[in-house]
Amino acid sequence: MKDKTATELINRDTLNIDLVGTEDMLIMLNNEDMKVAEAVRKCIPEITKAVDMIVRNFMHAGRLFYVGAGTSGRLGVLDASECPPTFSTPPDMIQGIIAGGDRALKEAIEGAEDSDKMALEDFEDYDICNNDTIVGISASGNAKYVCKFLEIAKIKKCKTIAITSNPAAKIKEFSDCFICVETGAEAISGSTRMKAGTAQKMVLNMLSTASMIKIGKTYHNLMIDLNPTNDKLKRRAVTIVAEICGCKERTAQNVLDLNGYKIKHAILFILYGLSFEEADKLLKEHNGVLRRIFEGQ
């Protein structure tokens, strides 16, 4: 028993989960879930370090890679895929890499988690350099694919971050920043898609969201760099422009319709009468940070 990680231990609070009624079963699961947010909170100092590391590399044209196997890999791919529509990031700026490739998103790929060879091949395929940040995700922290990927990244002098639920994780050896969210034994023993997976999702949301805020992708808490690819997001863009400019939504919509729903450009047109080209030049001079433009006016 001593050689088992915490996520593999038997949870004494849910021993009778197969005997109780449905409501009591769900209460047991919910009780376990409530432990996750507090466990993540305890890791905020390490998450802070990770965010600042990611932002520094972004400012030097670096990219962010999430690397994992199974559930951990799927969560990394999910967070990465949500950044382009939310923050208009280029597709290659934040990427998720899962052991076994895209097929592994839907089905288990035999041996992928334990393949050093696959990790080396994937590392080379993405042409990773020392300005990039690599985030290895593994509940146990011992997945060979993730360990090897981080090990290569360290050799290549990339900044490395590890997310795990095991204090004794092997990936700690290859990480510049070690984020260990101690979620303890799972409600269903070893099922790390549950509490450990929830913790990973929360940490990944914090890493990407905080990094985007720090490079100017929001103004206050408004998503000024979202990519309005559907009606819902277009309505949100109109609301954002109207809120920041203090104008009617009809005015905001008319400007956005004309400029292809470029939110920042619309704001600068309404507030300062800047043409699209003038706004574009000003945004480039201030690295796209709207607040810096406001402060300079």
Give 116's contacts (C-beta < 8 A, 6+ positions apart).
Answer: 144, 145, 148
82 is catalytic: yes
Q: Where are the beta strands (DSSP E) in the chain?
A: 64-68, 94-98, 133-137, 159-164, 177-180
Catalytically annotated residue among 82, 182, 243, 278? 82
Phi and psi dihedrals of 72, rounded to 5? Answer: -60, -40
Among residues 161, 193, 191, which one has the least CA distance to residue 177? 161
Which three-class secondary structure state does DSSP give residue 160?
strand
- Unique residue bearing structure tokens 């590399």: 57
DSSP 69: S
113 is catalytic: yes
> How many Å apart are CA 141 and CA 272, to the nearest integer?
52
**Helix%, strand%, coil% for the chain, nearest 5:** 55, 10, 35
> How many Å apart are CA 287 and CA 266, to the nearest integer?
17
Catalytically annotated residue among 8, 32, 46, 113? 113
- What residues act catalytically? 82, 113
